[in-house]
Amino acid sequence: MTPREGGTLPQISSLRGGATLAIISADLDVKCALARDTARRWHERRLSLRSPLDPPLPDRPGRPAKPELVPPKAVGKRSLHTLPGRVAMLHALAHIELNAVDLALDIVARFAAEPVPHSFFDGWMRVADEEAKHFGLVRDRMRALGADYGDMPAHDGLWQAAHSTRNDLTARLAVVPLILEARGLDVTPSLQEKMRETGDLESAEVLRIIYEDEKGHVSVGAKWFRFLCAREKKDPAATFKELVRVNFRGALKAPFNDVARAEAGLTPSFYRSLTSTSNG
C-alpha cells in the first residue's frame, strides 16, 4: 500500500471528505490507504470534521467487479480441513473486513453533523483503520495460499443492515457494532482453535489479531450507544431490544461469548431475550 501513500491519493478536504472518498473508491488498495491515511491525519489533528468541499456520500460503497455478490444463503459451508475450505473461509472473512471498513467510515461520514464529542470520531476512525489493517492481513494470507479476494462469490447482507439504519445513529450502533461485530466475538475463538488444529498457524495468528481488535470495536459501539441512550434518558438494554426488533431481521444466534461481550460493555440484559429459542 505504501506506493500510493502521500503522492497519489486523492486530496482530502476533511475527515468526512476522506471517509467519503474511501467509501466511494472501488480500488481496494486506494480505499484502505485512504481509510488509514484519513485516520492518521484525523488523530494528528490535521483535519477538520467537515468541509463544504466534501463529496456526497454514496448509497453503496465502491467495489471492484469481483467478487460477485450473491444472497447470503448461496454462499456454501466449508470444512477447514482442506486448503480450498480454508481459502473459502478466509475469503468470507476478507469480505466481512472489507464491509467493516466501509461500515466504520459510513458511521463517521454519515453522522459527521451529529452533536457528539470529537472522541466519537476518534473511536470510529480507529475502528476504520483497524478494519483496513484486517482486510490487508487476510488478503495477504490468501495470496500466500495462492488465492485472492474476488476469486469466489460473496454475500451482500452486511451492507443491507447498514442501509436500513442510515437515518438513525442509535439504531446504526445497535445493529453494526452491537450485533454484527459482537457476533465476531462469539465465533472467532473457535474458528481460531480449528485453524490451529489444521496446522495453519499463520491464518490462526491473523484470526487472533482480529479477535483482539474486535473486542475494542464492540467496546466503542457499546460506549457510544450508552452515551446516546443516556442523553435521551433511555434505558440502554430496552432501547437496544426495541431497535433490533425494528431494524434487524432474524434472531441472534447463541452461544454467546458472554465474557468478551461483557468486557466490551455488552451485558446479557441486552441480547439474552433476542435469541431464537426465547420468547423474550
| Min dist. Cβ of residue 101 to Fe ion (A) | 8
Binding mask 84-123 for Fe ion (x = CB under 5 A): -------------x--x-----------------------
Euclidean distance between the first and the last CA atom of the chain, given in angstroms as a whole number:
48
By beta-carbon distance, which residue lies closest to Fe ion?
217
Burial of 118 (0-12, 13-18, 19+ CB in 10 A): exposed
Q: Cell numbers at residue 72, please? A: 447470503
Nearer to Fe ion, 54 or 266 (CB): 266
Query: 110 or 217, CB closer to Fe ion?
Result: 217
Binding to Fe ion (CB under 5 A) within 188-217 occurs at 214, 217
Window 119-138: residues binding Fe ion (CB under 5 A):
131, 134
What is the residue type of 246? V
Residue in 141, 181, 188, 222 binding Fe ion, rule: CB under 5 A: 181
Q: With respect to Fe ion, which residue has the nearer C-beta, 14 or 211?
A: 211
Q: What are phi and psi of 54, to 5 degrees?
A: -60, 135
Q: Which helix (H) or strand (E) holds 159?
A: helix 157-164
Shortest reach from residue 131's CB to Fe ion, in Å: 5
44 to 83, contacts with Fe ion by CB under 5 A?
Answer: none
Q: Which of residues 241-270 bind Fe ion (CB under 5 A)?
A: none
CB-CB neighbours of 165 under 10 Å: 22
The type of residue at 143 is: R
Nearest distance from residue 56's CB to Fe ion, in Å? 26
Min dist CB 180 to Fe ion, Å, is 8
Question: Do 263 and 215 touch, CB atoms closer than 8 A?
Answer: yes
- Residue 183 contacts residue 218 (beta carbons within 8 Å): no
Nearest distance from C-beta of residue 92 to Fe ion, angstroms: 13
Give the Cα separation of 238 and 32 in Å (integer). Answer: 36
Residues that bind Fe ion (CB under 5 A): 97, 100, 131, 134, 181, 214, 217
